[in-house]
Amino acid sequence: MKLFYSFLLIFSFLGLTSCIEIIDDISLKNDGSGTLKYTINLSSSKVKINSILALDSLDGKKVPSIPEMEERIVSFKKKLSAKTGISNVTIESDFTNYIFKLQCDFTSVIALQNALKDVIEEESKEKNIPELDHNWLSWDGTKMTRSIPEITVKKTKEIKSEDIELMKQGNYTSITRFERPVEKFDNTAAVLSKNKMAVMIKTNPYALTQNSNILENSIYLSPIKN
Amino acid sequence: MILRLQMKLFPVISFVLFGGFVLAQKSEELIPKDAVTVFSINNISLLQKVSLDDLVKYDFMEEVQQELFDGSTSGKTIKESGIDFDQKLNVFYGRGETYEVSGFTFGIKDKKQLFEVFDDFEQVKSPYPGTEFYTSYFNNLIISGNSALLIRVEPNMNTVDEMTDSIWYARGNENPWYSEDSMDEGIESDEEILEEEIYEEMDDESKPESGYDFPSAEENPNEKNYYELRDSVQIVLQNQFLTALCEELLIKKMNLVKFDSRFAEQLTHTSEGIFYLDNSRNVQEARGLWYFQTMFPTLYKDMQEVYTGNVLMGDLLLNETSVEFKMEARYGEALGSIYQKMNDSKFDKNILKYINQNNTAYFTYNVNMREAYEQAYKVIMPILTDERNPQMSANVLTIELLNEFVNKDALFGTYKGSMFGTFNGVKKIKTTKIEFIYDENTFEYYEKEVDAEEDMPIFTLGFSTERSDIPEKVLKHLARLTSRFQNMGDYWVYEDAILEAAPLYMISKNGMFIFTNDEDLAKNHSNGYGSEALSAKQAKKAKKSGFMYGQIDWAKAIDGFPRDFFTEQENELIDAMRGKTGVMELTTSKTSKEKTNFDLVYNFGGNYDNSGKYLLDLLNSIYVISK
C-alpha cells in the first residue's frame, strides 16, 4: 500500500493516474498466515513517465530520478522486512515498463496491517494519520473481511477532477486466495474462480472515489475437512 | 512580500497603464544609462482602443489596484492614479558588474492622486536639486518636474557575499557555514527541525528536569551574526549604488537617451511600443564570463570589441487584426562580416518537399556554414593568437592543426547549414504495454506484452547534405551494433529511441537527411509530400525570407495538445487562448554587414474587440499562470 501511496503521490501531480493498474493479491492459509503480492503497472504510460523523468522539476515540484526511486524502494523494503511477523520481502522494479511488484509473507493479517501502517507512518512526514486507525483486513478462521485502506481512498480522492476521465481508464484488482473453497461472499461485484479457491473484484480509481466501499467484501469459507 | 509583488507587477503595469508622446516633460529622460533593456509604451494608441473601464476588469488589474491603492481608496480606478497618460511609460532593467537596476519611468498629472496610489512611500530629504525623493522599503520614487522614476537598485549577491565574508573573517570569526551535524550526515536536511520535536524525541533521562531547554544567551548581542552582517552590507551597498546612479542621472544629467543615440533615435518611432536591448553590454556584464575575464583579460577585451555595436531594437505595432513586432539586430563590423558570410547561402528547395501544408508549425533555416567558418576563422584567430598565454597558445595550435587536417569539404558537405523543422501536432504513436492475463480457474496471472498507443508530439528535423554517404556509414555501423537499428529500404528505423518507447525514423534521400517520429512521413512520404507539401505561395515566402522563416498556427497547436500534457495552471492559460488564436509568422531580411531585420507578425482571428484588447487578454492569461 505504501508503495502505491508513494507512486500515487508522484503520479497524481504528474497527471498520470490515467493508466495505472494495481493488483492487490492476498493468499491466505488456513492458519491465518499468508502472502501479499502488490503490483503496480504503469507500462501504458511509459512514454509520459520517461518524458517527465527527463525533467528536473514539473509544476514547481522536483521530479524524482530513477536512483532516488530505487533508494525509496530499498528503504521501504528494509523497513518492512524489519517488522514483526513479516518475512521474505521482495520488490521487483522494472524501470523499462514501469512495473513494480511487492511480495511478502506474513504470519497474520493483523501483523501485515500493523507492519504496513508502521512503515507508512515512518515514511510519511505526517504524524498521527487518522486514516491509519482503520483496519482493512480481518480473519477469524472461516471469514475473511477485506476493504480498501482509508489512506488509499483519501489519496485517490485528492486526484484532480480534470483527471476523472483518465482515472476511469485505470484498474484496481483485488484478489483473495484461500487453501480451501469459498462458500459465499457478500460483494455482488466479486467473482469466484472456477476452482472456488479465489475471489476477485475489479474496479477503477474513479469508481473508488465515488464509492469507497466498492471493494469491501466478506468471504466465507467452507469448514476445514478433518 | 508586497514589495516583491509590486516589483513583479512592474511589467504588468507597464503594459497596461500609460505612455504617450509628449513634447514637454519626457519620462524617458529619467531612464538611467545603466538600463540595458528598455520597453517603452506609447499608450495613446493603446488606450484609444482599450477603455480603462474594461482594463480594470482584468484579473491582474484587480491585483494591481489592490496593491497600488492599498485598500484605503477602494473603488478607485487607474484613471484616478494621477498618472499622465500623455507621457510614455518606460520599463527598464539593467545588470552591471556589481548591481542590478530595475524600474519604470512615467509622467505625473496629479501628484495628490498619485500618492493616494503610492501611499506606502514616505518623503525623505532629496539631495538632488529640483527633485523630490520618496522611499518605501527598497523602492525609491523620484519626481523631477512632471515625470517620475520608480527605481530599485539591488547589489549582486556575489558582491554582497564577498564583502560580508571579508568583514566576517577579518573579525576573527569561524566559517559560518560549518555544521558538525551536516558534516556527519553528508547532506543538509531541507526540513526544519523544531526544538520541540528534538525534546519530544529525547529519552526521558535526557530530558532536562525543567522541561523545555531554552538556548542560553551566551552570544554577545552587540555583535552581529553572519546574516545580520550580510543584511547590513547589502543595505550599505544598495545605498552606495543608488547614490552613484542618482548623481549621474540627476546631477550630471546623464541618461540612456544621451548615452546611446540609437536608443534616442528609436524613441522617435511612432509605434505603440519600442524595445531596446544592448547586447554588447550584456556580454560585458555576463557574470558567467568571470573566469574568461580573469584568465584571459586581453582576449576578453578583444572579444568585447567583436561584440561592440551589438544591439537589438524593435517596434511593436498593434493593428486591428494583428500584432507586429519589427526587430533590428545591429552589430559591429567584425561580427557583421561573419553573419553576412553565414547568410550568403542558396535556399535548398528540397526542404520544401518535406513540409506538409497542414503542419501546425514549421521553420526553415538557411545558412552557409563553410563561409561562416572561414570568416570566423579569419576574424577570431588573430585575436586568439595575440593572447600571450600558454593555455591559449596550445588551444590556438590545436585549432590551427584541426583546420589543416580536417577534411572541411566532407564536414561542410555533410552539414551545409540549411535545415528545417516541423511540428505536426500530437498523434497516437505505436508502443507496447504489459497486460496481466488472468487464468479463470485460479485467477493466477501472467504478463503479456501487447501493442498500445500513446500520445506524442510529432516532430521532424532535417538538413541538406551533399554527402549522404557519411550519415549512411554511421547508420550501417550502428545497425551492426544493435538490432534496434534497421534499414527499411526507404528509411531507417531506430526502435524505442524516443523515451525508450517510440521509434525514431531517419530518411536519407534527395540530398536531405531527416530525423522524425512521424511514421507516416517515413513510410509513405520519404520522397516528400508532393501535392500535400507547402503551397507555392507559402514556399515563396520561405524562399524569399532571409536566413530564417517560421510559421505557427496557434489554433492548431493549442487544440492539438491533450490537456493532460499540461499542468492545471498551463491549462488555464490555454483555455484563455482557445478560440482566440491565429497565425504567427517570422520573416527575416537579407543580412548585411551592419544589421539583420526580423519581422514577427501575429495575425489573429476569433472574438476580439481589437488588438490592444487581445494583447491584454494574453497578458491576463500570463498573469493568471504566474499568480
Q: Cell 519626457: give the residue.
A: B26
Q: Do A44 and B452 touch (CB under 8 A)?
A: yes
> pLDDT band for position B192 (50/70/90)?
very low
Q: Do A175 and B443 touch (CB under 8 A)?
A: yes
- B166 in reach of chain A (CB within 8 A): no
Q: How far is B435 from chain A (nearest CA, A)?
A: 8
pLDDT at B578: 63
**Contact residues, chain A, for B571 at CB < 8 Å:** 162
Is the distance from CB of B580 to CB of B614 less than 8 angstroms?
A: yes
pLDDT tens digits for range B303-361: 666 777 788 998 988 777 788 889 999 988 888 888 888 888 888 889 999 999 988 89
**Contact residues, chain B, for A54 at CB < 8 Å:** 499
Q: Do A125 and B501 touch (CB under 8 A)?
A: no
pLDDT at A118: 87
B525 has pLDDT over 90:
yes
Q: How far is A111 from chain B (nearest CA, A)?
A: 25
**Length of chain A, in residues:** 226
DSSP B568-621: HHHHHHHHHHTT--EEEEEEE----SSEEEEEEEEEE-SS-S-HHHHHHHHHHH
**C-alpha cell belonging to residue B490:** 526507404
Task: HSE, CB side, 13 Å, CA atoms: give it for residue B74.
Answer: 5
Low-confidence residues in chain A, pLDDT < 50: 1-18
Residue-number span of the structural domain to which B47 is assigned = 2-157+232-273
Q: How far is B72 from chain A (nearest CA, A)?
A: 34
Q: Do B434 and A177 touch (CB under 8 A)?
A: no
Which one is predicted more confidently, B46 or B282?
B282
DSSP B61-123: HHHHHHHHHTTTTTT--GGGG-EETTS-EEEEEEE-SSEEEEEEEEEES-HHHHHHHSTT-EE
SS3 label, residue B476? helix
Of B90-104, B173-187, B287-301, least confident by mean pLDDT is B173-187
Answer whether residue B480 is part of any domain.
Answer: yes
Among the partner-chain residues A43, A59, A160, the one whose CB lies closest to the CB of B433 is: A43
Counting one residue from A and one from B, how many pairs have CB atoms under 8 Å apart? 73
Answer whether residue B379 is part of any domain.
Answer: no
pLDDT at B503: 87
Answer whether residue B553 is part of any domain.
Answer: yes
Of B216-230, B518-532, B573-587, B612-626, least confident by mean pLDDT is B612-626
Q: Which chain B residue has the Cα nearest residue A58? A: B567
Helices (H), B250-296: 256-259, 261-267, 279-285, 290-295
The closest alpha carbon to B162, from B225, B229, B100, B224, belongs to B229
The closest alpha carbon to B502, from B512, B516, B490, belongs to B516
Answer whether residue B557 is part of any domain.
Answer: yes
B45 has pLDDT over 60:
no
Answer whether residue B383 is part of any domain.
Answer: no
Answer whether residue B608 is part of any domain.
Answer: yes
pLDDT at A4: 35
B14 has pLDDT over 60:
no
Q: Across A1-15, A42-56, B515-529, B553-567, which has the greatest mean pLDDT?
A: B515-529
Q: Do A200 and B443 touch (CB under 8 A)?
A: yes
Which one is predicted more confidently, B446 or B86?
B446
Among the partner-chain residues B429, B434, B443, the one whose CB lies closest to the CB of A43 is: B434
Is the distance from CB of B395 to CB of B383 less than 8 angstroms?
A: no
B542 has pLDDT over 50:
yes
**Which residues, 6+ apart, have CB-to-CB distance to A161 below 8 Å?**
none
Give how many domains chain B has, as a whole number.
2
Among the partner-chain residues B431, B564, B569, the one whose CB lies closest to the CB of A166 is: B564
Q: Across A153-162, B100-109, B421-430, B465-474, which has the greatest mean pLDDT?
A: B465-474
Mean pLDDT, residues B586-594 taken together: 89
- A127 in reach of chain B (CB within 8 A): no
pLDDT at A188: 92
pLDDT tens digits for range B591-621: 888 889 999 898 876 555 555 666 666 656 5
Q: What is the ipTM of this complex?
A: 0.84
B210 has pLDDT over 60:
no
pLDDT at B455: 79
Is the distance from CB of A93 to CB of A70 less than 8 angstroms?
A: yes
Answer whether residue B312 is part of any domain.
Answer: no
**Contact residues, chain B, for A97 at CB < 8 Å:** 433-434
Mean pLDDT, residues B136-141 taken together: 84
Among the partner-chain residues B442, B500, B569, the one whose CB lies closest to the CB of A96 is: B500
B39 has pLDDT over 80:
yes
Q: Do B564 and A15 touch (CB under 8 A)?
A: yes
> pLDDT band for position B171 (50/70/90)?
confident
> pLDDT band for position B460 (50/70/90)?
very high
Q: How far is A198 from chain B (nearest CA, A)?
A: 6
Q: Do A194 and B440 touch (CB under 8 A)?
A: yes
Report CA-CA distances (Å) from A198 to A34, B436, B444, B470, B568.
Answer: 14, 17, 9, 62, 42
pLDDT at A224: 79
- B568 in reach of chain A (CB within 8 A): yes
Interface test with B, best of A38, A44, A49 (most B CBs within 10 A): A44
Mean pLDDT, residues B451-460 taken together: 85
Domain extents in chain A: 2-221
Q: How far is B514 from chain A (nearest CA, A)?
A: 22
